[in-house]
Structures are given as C-alpha cells and as structure tokens.
Chains A and B, each alone.
Chain A
C-alpha cells in the first residue's frame, strides 16, 4: 500500500511569488491535513480537508489556502511568499480524521 506522497520535495521561490504543493493520501483515506514545521515554531496545523470540504483551519493568514479533489488528493497554495514562509510543509492523511494519521516526507520550501 503506497504511503502519503508529496510533491515537489524541494523548491526555491522568490519573495512575492506563489507556490502550490501537492499531496496524494493513502488510498481510501478521506481526510488530509497540512502542517508547517519550522525550527522556531515547531509543527503548526494549517488546515484539514475531508471529502472536499475544509473541516478545520489553523491560525494562518489568508495567503495560505488549500483544496481537496474528489479523489482525495489535496493541494495547498501560498501566495505572496515571505521569507518567513520558508519551512517544511507536511501533509498527513487518515481514514476519517480522528484515527491514526500518516505523514508524507514533506516539501521543503525555501523563500529567497
């Protein structure tokens, strides 16, 4: 059974640009959540999607957005990138959202 797949693994963007990250959950999982991990703030919850609906949202500015498709694949978008957005972005999936969650390897974003 394939795990959670995130693409791209590494990317470098310039301030002001926008970026889209993709996440393919484990087959059969309908819940996808996104996290930002930085050395200073640790792991912080961005949002959760379940059956194409945003079910929960963390405390991040509106520049951070996401969506989920009918096949449960999810994307997150960050617009008007800032230096402070440099982080490891992790996607996790679970069957229904309250059970065991499984993480992908993450997408390393560097903003210069």
Chain B
C-alpha cells in the first residue's frame, strides 16, 4: 500500500527566503508525482508534474525533483513571497492500479 508523507507539516519563513518542501513515498513503482497548492477553502491548483523517468521539472520560481529509488521528491521555492502562503500537497500515482495517493500537505506561511 502506497503511503505518502510530507515533512514538515507546517513551515513559516520570512519573505525572500528560499525553501524546500519534502515528500516521501513508500512504493517506488509510481507512474508520476504531482505537486499542488491549496488555498484555504479552495480546490487544488496543479503546480508541477514529474514523470517517473524524469529527475526534475521547473516552472518559474518552482523546481521539483524526483528520486524514485529513494522514494523522495522535493519542491524548491525560490525567493518566497507572501502570495506563496498556502498548503502544498504532493501526490504519487501508482503504476499497478493508477491510484493517486496524496500526502497530508505542508502549510506554508511567508511573512512580509
């Protein structure tokens, strides 16, 4: 059974700081891994999708990496801004049953 864990559960940083969010998964037989952000009371917004054959994906100030062998993915946010404050979730899609398992998320607060 795939378990997805995100550490830390919450993170508070001053504006302008670079930060890393962590995601680990127990079953390395994944098809892809996707990062999302969720603002309070809202749905999820897709940030980045990394296929199992890829090592990283970049979009603007965001960079996501994937190490399947160690069951880890990281989301790097450069020069953080107050508008980045949200909960960030990762989700791993299993190969065998296409099931997508979500982590509990990291609640990020960027202070002005």
Which A residues contact B (CB, under 8 angstroms)? 4, 6, 33, 35, 42-43, 45, 48, 55-56, 58, 90, 92, 97-106, 108
Where chain A touches its partner, the secondary structure class is strand
Task: For the complex formed, measure the closest distance between the CB of A37 and the CB atoms of chain B, giving whole angstroms.
Answer: 9
Question: How many residues does chain B have at the interface if contact means C-beta atoms less than 8 Å apart?
Answer: 23
A42 cross-chain contacts in B, Cβ below 8 A: 102-105
Neighbouring B residues of A100 by C-beta, 8 Å? 34, 46, 49
Task: Tell me, in angstroms, the Cα distance from A104 to B44 when the chains sit together.
Answer: 7
Q: Chain A's nearest CB lies how many Å from the CB of B37?
A: 11
Do residues A43 and B98 form an inter-chain contact, with CB atoms below 8 A?
no
Select which of B43, B101, B104 is within 8 A of A103 by beta carbon.
B43
Contacts A/B (CB < 8 Å), 11 sampled: A4-B43, A43-B89, A45-B100, A90-B43, A98-B98, A100-B34, A101-B46, A101-B100, A103-B44, A104-B43, A106-B43
- What is the CA–CA distance of A92 and B36 in the complex, to the nearest angstrom? 12
Give the nearest-CB partner of A108 in chain B: B41
Q: How many A-B residue pairs have CB under 8 A?
A: 47
Report the Cα distance A55→B45, complex, angstroms: 24
Task: Count chain A CB atoms within 10 A of each CB in B100, B101, B105 and give the residue with the most.
Answer: B100
Question: 1/0 contact trace for B73-112 toward A, CB 8 Å?
Answer: 0000000000000000101010001111111110000000
Residues of A within 8 Å of B89, CB to CB, are 43
Q: Which of A33, A56, A98, A106 contacts B32 (CB 8 A)?
A: A98
Q: Which of A33, A43, A58, A105 has most chain B Cβ within 10 Å?
A: A43
Q: Distance in Å from the Cβ of A92 to the closest Cβ of chain B?
A: 8
Q: Which residues of B contact A56 (CB under 8 A)?
A: 97-99
Q: Within 8 Å CB of B91, what residues of A?
A: 43
Bound-state Cα–Cα, A99 to B18, Å = 29
Cα of A55 to Cα of B100 in the assembled complex, Å: 13
B42 at the interface (CB under 8 A from A): yes
